[in-house]
Structures are given as C-alpha cells and as structure tokens.
Amino acid sequence: MSKKVFIKTYGCQMNVYDSKRMADVLKPHGYEVADEADGADLVILNTCHIREKAAEKVYSEIGRLRAEKEAKALEGKNMYIAVAGCVAQAEGPEMMKRAPAIDMVLGPQTYHRLPDMLKSAEEQRSGGRRSARVLDTEFPIDTKFDHLPTDSDFDGPAAFLTIQEGCDKFCAFCVVPYTRGAEYSRPVADVLKEAQSLVDKGVVEITLLGQNVNAYHGDDGKGDTMTLGGLIKALDKIEGLGRIRYTTSHPRDMDQELIDAHRDLKSCMPYLHLPVQSGSDAILDAMNRKHTRDEYFAVIDRLREARPDLALSSDFIVGFPGETDQDFEDTLDLVRRVKYAQAYSFKYSPRPGTPASVNEDQVPEEVKSERLARLQALINEHQLEFNEASIGKEMDVLLEREGKLPGQLLGRSPYLQSVHVDLTKGDNALDVAGDKPYTDFMGQLVRVKIVEAGPNSLKGELVSALH
C-alpha cells in the first residue's frame, strides 16, 4: 500500500522546483503526492525566508497539523511533519525547540537525503518517541543534483529547471547567501539532459532558475565554462523547446552574450525580470547592490536596443533603513522612466543575521505603508497601460489549462501575461460541439488576437494553431 506525502510550497519558483524534486526522491520509497494534508503520512512545508513574517506563517501551519498528527496517533497511525527550505536553514535548531511536533528540519541543500532522514524519524518513532528529532542543515561538499532521480514525471507544457543556486552578492537585506550558500552552477551537460527529458514529456516552455541566474558559469565539459547566454543558445537547439525564460537576474551580470540571445533567438522570450530594489544611489549603496541607477539605466538601454519589444519587471523594497523622502522620489522617477510591465514591491522588514537588520535608522511603519501605496499605484498604472497596448495585436500564447467558460483555455503570452483564449471565436473558431475537443489544444502554442485587457490579464480569440 502506497503512502501519501503532501508538500506545501511557499515563496519563489525555485521552491516550486525543489518541492517537485522532493516528490521525485520519495517516489521510489512508496510515496504518492497528495492534494491536501488531511490523510497524508508525511507533510513537508517548503519554506521561504524572503516574505515578511515567513516563520510565523510556518508555525501557524504546524499548529494546525499538530492536531491532526495527535488524532492519528490515537488511532495508532503515524504522521510525520517536516520543514524544508530557507526558514529551515536559517532557524532550524530554534524551530525544533519551539515546535515539538516537527519531526524533521532539512535545509535546501539536503533534500536528496530525505529518505534517510525519514528512515531515522521512523526508527525514533518506533522506539516510542511521539516526534522524531532529525535536523540536517549542512552544506554538503557534494551537490544534491548528483543524487537526484534522473527521471521525473511531469504534467504540463511549462516547467522550471534549476541551473544555479546561491549568491555571492551579499546585499544588506538578503538572507540567500546564508540559507542557500555560495553560487553554484550545474554542469552544462546535466542541464541539457534534464531539459531534453522535459521536452520529451511534452514541455514547450522552460524557465531557468537561480537565485542569481545570470551569474551562471557551468562546466562545459571541455575544460571551460559557459555563461547563461551560451547555455540558452545550446538549449535553443533542442527540437520542440519553443520558449526559454530565466529568473532571477542581477544587473551586474547582464553581459553582452546574454543580451545578444534576446536579439538573436526566437525562443528567448522578450520579457525579463531585472530587480533594482531602489532608484536612489544612496540606498543602492547602503543595500550593497554594487551598481548605480545610471548603470541600471545603461543596461536597460542596451537591452532595448537589442530587443525593442522587450518588456521588463522588477522588485522594489520600500522603507529601507535610512530612506529619505528624496530617496523614495528617486525610486518613483526610475519607475516612470523604465515603465515596467509588472513589478513586485514590499515594505522593508529586517531579516535576522543580515547587516540591515541592525541598522538603527529604521523608517517608521506608517511612512513605509504610505510610500508603498504610492509606488504600487504607479506600478499598477503602468501595468494596465502595458496590457491595454496589447489590444488588437496578435501574439503566440502557450495554452496551459482550462478556463471557467466552455471553449476557453488559459495560457501565457510571450510577456508572461495571463491570457483567456476563447477558441469558439476568431478567424478559425472551433465548433465546440462538432470539432475535436478544444482541450486537445492544451499544451500547444496558438496564434491569438487580443480583444480585451484588464489590470492582471488579457482576453483573446483564436487566429490559428501554430503546431
């Protein structure tokens, strides 16, 4: 009889990828993925340390799981609770003390050892302990990628693929260098092999992941290294791989080879997430970003010269320690000049262990809230303008799932916009009752004419199927 594992994923796309690989690791040991925690034999909370009060949300979830765990124990059944990811890495020992219901805490570099941890937990439980005590947050000398299953089940036309982990930038607000470690790039051959495997399973779009993805320098197998631009060129040669994206990038690592890939390769999508965090040179310096606003503008200019239709998104932190009214106005000015298609913005909140967390020049909470509201209003205005500019245009859309209406599928544009495609309307509209089921178009790239736009999505009609 198979066992059930429920994995709850918090935060970034890399955690989504990691959760999938944890399921892969557990599959040979008889675990099937469950859709909910109720009834699961193992629950894994894959955590993120970037968002505010991340740890508190995890403790709240553990409180709910503890009641179910205790109820199952009364029935003579075991349920194991594991905490993985960056919160686990940063606060592992404290979590074990604070939440006795936790059986296992594992850092993001150790999940390939999950079966061994689970075996240890089971042995402790069989010895009479209500909760096991397994803590593994070491940074192993050998990479976890060397120990992961080579074959992974996948369902859907779009997939994530981690190619790089860790960061050497040490921004003053960020915990990544401490929770994910130093920068590591996977060998080129391993990346290409995994990408080919995904395409063989029907994947059309791959998003390359890394905390600092454009710092990628993978072993090319010939005694040299390959940059991200070179890797994208190699991936472009895989037949059936129609789209390549990557995230998250740093302005300092946007080299010419990568910019040229946007210019030369149809598969390299005209959309780039390039975080800047602030538009003030003084704050950028305090953040240890190691670039100025003018250097950021120069990168944008080079990108747009190479690919005029390129759309950009970014990240912003509001109320970083020492941020003045003028510093914030500089951020608004940068946003007005770049005009992002989308952007994520947050109020600064201290992360234990980071340099900024001990800065005494903290910005009052009410000031941060007021600034965030102004920034988000401007970002939303630009996002709506960008979406409305799509009306009347034709674009390729990758159809990923069913919509709420008959004959409707949801997909993504080249600019990562969510598009509701009505296959019953347009130049090659389908007769839902007479034609082949419209769900046969799932996973395909189709040509779509955009007829309506809102703040967060587009509506389109079918022009033609591409392949």
The pLDDT tens digits for 230-285 are 999 999 999 999 999 999 999 999 999 999 999 999 999 999 999 999 999 999 99
Q: Could you tell me the CATH number of the domain that includes residue 57?
A: 3.40.50.12160
Q: How many CB atoms lie within 10 A of CB 211?
A: 25
What are residue 193's phi and psi, to 5 degrees?
Answer: -65, -45
Secondary structure of residue 31 in the 3-state scheme: strand
- Tokens representing residue 362 in the block: 């903290």
Please tell me what DSSP assigns to residue 222. S
Residue type, 464: S
Q: Count structural domains, the chain.
A: 3
Which contiguous run of DSSP H or E holds residue 402?
A: strand 394-402
Which of 106, 136, 166 finishes a domain? 136
Residues 204 and 101 in one domain: no
| Residue that is last in its domain, among 136, 163, 178 | 136
Q: Look at strands 184-185 and 164-165 and give their pairing.
A: antiparallel
- The per-residue pLDDT for range 308-333, each reduced to its tens digit, is 999 999 999 999 999 999 999 999 99
| pLDDT, tens digit, 9 for 90 and up, residues 129-140 | 666 677 776 666
Tell me: do 370 and 417 sit in the same domain.
no
User: Does the annotation list 268 as a binding residue?
Assistant: no
106 and 160 together in one domain: no
Are 191 and 218 in contact by the 8 Å Cβ rule? The answer is yes
The domain in which residue 66 lies consists of 3-136
Domain of 440, CATH number, reads: 2.40.50.140
The response to whether 86 counts as a known ligand-binding position is yes
On whether both 127 and 159 belong to a single domain, the answer is: no
427 token code pair: 């130049």
3-state secondary structure 87-109: HHHHHHHHHHHHCCCCCEEECCC
Torsion over CA: 363, 364, 365, 367 (sign): negative
3 state DSSP class of 404: coil
pLDDT at 54: 67
Task: Note the pLDDT of residue 152.
Answer: 61
Contact 286, 311 (CB under 8 A): no
SS (H, E, C) 239-254: CCCCEEEEECCCHHHC
Give the C-alpha separation, 367 to 272, whole Å. Answer: 30
Please report how the helices 293-306 and 256-264 are oriented relative to each other, as an axis angle in degrees rounded to 10: 30
Q: Which positions of the chain have pLDDT values less than 50? A: 141
Q: Are residues 195 and 86 in the same domain?
A: no
CB 149 within 8 A of CB 22: no
Question: Residue 404: what pLDDT?
Answer: 86
Specify whether 275 is located in the same domain as 352. Answer: yes
CB 270 within 8 A of CB 262: yes
What is the predicted pLDDT for the residue at 131? 63
Final residue before a domain boundary, out of 363, 388, 413: 388
Q: What is the pLDDT of residue 124?
A: 82
Same domain? For 307 and 196 the reply is: yes
Same domain, 31 and 160: no
**454 and 319 housed in the same domain:** no
> 208 and 63, same structural domain?
no
Q: Supply the pLDDT for residue 182.
A: 86
The residue type found at 131 is S
β-bridge partners, 342: 313
Nearest Cα neighbor of 401 from 438, 450, 369 is 438
How much is the pLDDT for 281?
98
Which residues share a beta bridge with 345?
316
Q: Which residues contact 194 (CB under 8 A, 6 or more apart)?
A: 161
Could you tell me which residues come within 8 angstroms of residue 389 by beta carbon, excluding any fewer than 6 positions away?
A: none
359: domain CATH number?
Answer: 3.80.30.20
Q: H or E segment at 316? A: strand 311-318
Q: What is the pTM of this model?
A: 0.82
Strand, coil or helix: 134: strand
